Amino acid sequence: MMRTLLLLLLAVSAEAQTQVITLHAGPASQEVKVEPSNWWVGMKEPSVQLMCYAPGIGGTTPRLEAYPGVALKTVHRVENRNYLFVDLSIGTGARPGVLHFTFAGAPSYNMDFVLRARDARDGVSRIQGVTDKDLVYLLMPDRFANGDPSNDVVRGMRDTIVEKDAPSERHGGDLKGVQDHLDYLKDLGITTVWMTPVNENDMPHGAYHGYAFTDQYQVDRRFGGNEAYAALSEALHRKGMKLIQDGVYNHVGSDHWTVLDMPMKDWLNQWPEYTNTSYKVEPLLDPYASDIDRRTSVDGWFVKSMPDLNQRNPYVRNYLTQYAIWATETFGVDGWRVDTWFYSDKDFLNHVNAALVREFPRLTMFGEVWVGSVAEAAYWCQNNLDVPYKSNLQGVVDFNVCFSMQDALRKDGNPDRLYTTLAQDFLYKNPFRNCIMLDNHDMDRFYGIVGQDLDKYKMGIAWVLTLRGIPELYYGTEILMRRLKSEGGDGVVRENFPGGWPGDSVNKFAPAGRTTEEQEAFSYLRTLAHYRLGSSALTSGRLMQYVPTDGMYVYFRYDSSQTVMVAANTSDHEQTLDMSRFSERVGGFRDGRDVVTGATEPLSGMRLGSHKVVVLELSK
């Protein structure tokens, strides 16, 4: 999440507060809360750790009724007697069923725990991974569409305000609203839906964005709960589409149930007094950095309302890792985007990645690594660097490519930074696994950034859909949503999709609700997106780029069966392309078919107007 947003939240929460959080009185219920809430037979990792929570359960003696292939291995008693951690071993001979536990003592408890069979579709039609063949659509569930107004307010939850015209309040969007518009997304050319977190955020105010979890295992009931999320996943996969889950390992919300009554004091990263992260990545890479600077970057809290989890604590490590596995198997998640990546413990990050890939070999993971250089980004994923820490993360959200595309399209911009950024791809093990975008939920809207210039918009769309990597579009980009954060903060760049709410005056999900300019933008994006789906060069081909000259940036995507040429004139004057300069790639080709208009023209003498872009499939 964007640093300016975080500083704003910090200011809002600036009341006096100590960071030393103590253990509280415990649960009101006499039932055992257990996480994970179920598990599976046939997992590659045969052990699972149950976190059992009930008043005084730490003083009881647990027993497992005999169950073939399952053994209770170890019991862990921790500082807080309301917790008991139980390690199970699930052998290869275990079958699906119900485990019966008793907890003898005063008080005493009974608990059932379900073992399920793994889904036979894993790795085939679900948990498939997300690649550069896909096109990702990022949306905020609260702001996309309200498919079920009955869940706008849920009795017993802390935040009951729903005002769809107030930028910082909940608006009532939900998972049913997303599911209702899957045909719209598929028609646009989208293959994959990535939503900001759907986990419960039962905070008093302002957590519509989803990044302040209060219970990992519960999808927010105002979005429709676990049932609605499972239904959305099933609907996506039936349509041949995919699901990315947005995860957070670094922190939770201050009203998370394990924060209100912590298992042990070092469940969180504690300080003598409140200490914020510096938001700086450099101390984590710098060979000359001080220990205090390193610790502040990682162990400092993101904001006061988001306590920092201590992933060096083995119970926290297990808790987070098992949740990621549980969610992937339960909901058929095809990929993970993980928030605030480098703020978490390095060794933990490699641990959770390895655990996920062990169970789900095709799963994709990329992290939010908001840094200022390619070298800093490459450090946090699989790379070609000779450094002591070697990350096993597959790819990153590529902010460097994003900002270089934006810079090339601002007033008086040029594409040199974009060229130079891509020229440093040798630092990555596989830069084609990075996620590239023009904007996201923490940034100004792309169409606003380029001054609402439709030609520049088309150039950006052409780049993000034809360059290397996994392309992502932020919801509403296709209809020219244009707001800037200077107009009212984060909320205005997260406005509702027009037509997603009952009673909306316009419906931009339908052509009739769009202006002429919006329809032109929509059609351009849709045409190029559908071409991309069938283009081997764009989805699996190589990239060759040429040094920009006078604002003209030319590159090729190609394989043994197809060559696509992209030429973009960022200058303020028309230019003729000198095809002899590109003979290495255009040799043997005479014509190019504009993949958007369908027109074919000879390559020789081709002219390109100011701020125009063309995507050509070459032919002989």
Which residues are part of the catalytic machinery? 339, 368
What residues form DSSP beta bridges with 395? 366
Residue 308 to residue 3: CA distance in whole angstroms: 16
Query: In the 8-state DSSP scheme, what is residue 31?
Result: S
Handedness of CA 551, 543, 530, 496 (dihedral sign): negative
- 328 vs 335: CA distance, rounded Å: 8
Distance of alpha carbon 295 from alpha carbon 277, whole angstroms: 9
136 near 194, Cβ under 8 Å?
A: yes
CA distances from 468 to 20, 537, 544, 555, 596 (A): 46, 10, 10, 11, 19
3-state SS assignment for residue 77: coil
| Residues 381/394, Cβ–Cβ less than 8 Å | yes
Name the residue type at position 524. Y
Q: What is the rounded CA–CA span in Å between residue 247 and residue 216?
A: 10
Q: What are phi and psi of 102, to 5 degrees?
A: -125, 145
Q: How many other CB atoms sit within 10 Å of the CB of residue 16?
A: 5
Quick count: other Cβ atoms within 10 Å of Cβ 457? 26
| Residue 55 Cα to chain centre, angstroms | 36
d(CA 470, CA 133): 7
Give the chain's radius of gyration (CA, Å): 26
Beta strand segments in 91-202, E: 97-104, 109-116, 136-139, 192-195, 199-200
- 3-state helix/strand/coil string of 461-525: HHHHHHCCCEEEEECCHHHCCCCCHHHCCHHHHHCCCCCCCCCCCCCCCCHHHCCHHHHHHHHHH
Tokens (6 digits) for 391: 């990350």
Helix (H) or strand (E) holding 417: helix 416-423
Distance CA 240, CA 234 (A): 10
Are 336 and 386 spatial neighbours (Cβ–Cβ below 8 Å)? no
Contact call for residues 114 and 101 (beta carbons, < 8 A): no
